[in-house]
Amino acid sequence: MNDSRLTPRKMQILRAIVDAHISHGEPVGSKYLSQESRISASPATIRNEMAELEEMGYLVQPHTSAGRVPSELGYKYYVNSLVEQYSTTKAEIDEINQLLSYKLSAMDEILAEVSRLAASSTDYTGIAFKSGFGQARIKQFKSVLLSGRDFLLVMTFEGDIVKTKTVRLPFTLTEDALRRFTEAANMYLVNLTSEAITMPIIMKLEALMGSSGGMVHPAVKAIYETMSELDSADVKLDGITKLLDYPEYSDVSDFRELLGVLEEKDKLMDVISSQDDGEGDIHVYIGTDGENRGMKNTSMIFKTINIGGRQLAVGVIGPKRMNYQKVIEMLNGLASGIDRLFCDGALLTDGRHDD
């Protein structure tokens, strides 16, 4: 986002106003800037620059005698052009490293943990999102006999995502029967979507298994459940009540509208999808960017990660005057950690890995 009208001094003043408003939540005046910031200009010069920034749409004057606050355009310019690298504290680095060393066994666990970590690191509401595969297809079946009545079904999906399910049977299973079922599953179920696994196919599997045909129904049920988990999108939120600490949410009716958006996951996923334009990893939704009135005083900033054909997003929701510097650096750290977890194979199955 380039604007040739923004001179270096205007940029400096705009950044100082956004920083001050984020810290204090009050309109910022020229006197404060001349005394508290490093701007080497008189209050009169700063006032003139602020007036021009207001005319350009970067600042808003809430009251006639008050200072200025950033407009949504001002926040956007700040996020895109003025944010400096935030130095993460040792505590934040340690917590991110702790996440890296924790072998999370299921997607739900990593979503819940990431949203919690995003909330605790920023004092805003943490959000983690996963997209669905839409039409999950299994590439290969393997199986392991665990006991006389239990076996582990190992399913490799497109994108090299591996999921496992323990299947419990009402009768004793032999190694030979399990081998024959695995061969049949690889012959008749590979590359099919859940909708394509029809009753005639299930009946054919039962016929092939003969006296062990009773294992087909519980096995197919486990397959359906796994495909459904992969096909569905999900959103995890943590720290919603943290927003009550900010004056922007002191109005009960406004906060109720925001809760309405957060509680309806479909609406929230629509907001995330509408902002993900592929123009970069960090995406910012500020106030009235969309049609959701409930988010008029709110910003959402998130980073997307593509893992094995599935889109993940981690972010925070907070007031428009959130600390964008800190949030962006924290999200970059979390996203890198999640990426390493997947690349290192820590999330290959539903079972935990031993170090």
**Exposure of 95 by Cβ count < 10 A (0-12 exposed, 13-18 middle, 19+ buried)?**
middle
H helices present in 57-164, as ranges: 72-77, 90-101, 107-122
* CA atoms of 67 and 28, how far apart (whole Å): 5
- Mean pLDDT along residues 285-294: 70
> Of 214, 231, 248, at which residue does a domain stop?
231
Reported as half-sphere exposure (CB side, CA atoms, 13 A), residue 139 has a value of 8
Q: Has residue 353 been placed in a domain?
A: no
Average pLDDT, the chain: 81
- Mean pLDDT along residues 139-154: 92
Predicted local confidence at residue 223, as pLDDT: 93
Residue with structure tokens 């299973």? 173
Phi, psi of 127 (to 5 degrees): -140, 140
Higher pLDDT, 245 or 234: 245
Cβ–Cβ < 8 Å for 301, 281: no
Q: What is residue 349's DSSP assignment?
A: S
Predicted local confidence at residue 351, as pLDDT: 37
Judgement on whether residues 128 and 177 belong to the same structural domain of the protein: no
Give bridge partners of residue 221 from the DSSP assignment. none
Full domain range(s) for residue 147: 138-231
Structural domain total, the chain: 3
Predicted local confidence at residue 262, as pLDDT: 84
CATH number at residue 218: 3.30.390
CATH number at residue 34: 1.10.10.10
Percent of the chain whose pLDDT exceeds 70: 80
Predicted local confidence at residue 294, as pLDDT: 77
Task: Give this prediction's pTM.
Answer: 0.64
Contacts of 286 (CB under 8 A, 6+ apart): 72, 75, 76, 79, 299, 320
Judgement on whether residues 244 and 290 belong to the same structural domain of the protein: yes
Q: Is the pLDDT of residue 211 over 50?
A: yes
Judgement on whether residues 289 and 225 belong to the same structural domain of the protein: no
Q: Has residue 348 been placed in a domain?
A: no
Give 154-212 as a DSSP string. Answer: EEEETTTEEEEEEEE-SS---HHHHHHHHHHHHHHTTT--GGG--HHHHHHHHHHHGGG
Q: Is the pLDDT of residue 349 over 50?
A: no
Contacts of 201 (CB under 8 A, 6+ apart): 188, 189, 192
- Which of 49-63, 130-144, 248-262 is predicted most confidently? 49-63
Judgement on whether residues 74 and 94 belong to the same structural domain of the protein: no
- Mean pLDDT along residues 178-188: 95
Q: Is the pLDDT of residue 89 over 60?
A: no
Lowest-pLDDT choice from 73-82, 120-129, 196-205, 239-248: 73-82
> Of 45, 62, 82, at which residue does a domain stop?
82
Q: Is the pLDDT of residue 93 over 70?
A: no
Of 141, 313, 311, 144, give the one whose Cα is nearest residue 227: 141
Lowest-pLDDT choice from 46-55, 107-116, 219-228: 107-116
Predicted local confidence at residue 105, as pLDDT: 45
Predicted local confidence at residue 94, as pLDDT: 59
Which H/E stretch holds residue 313?
strand 310-319
- Mean pLDDT along residues 41-62: 90
Predicted local confidence at residue 233, as pLDDT: 72
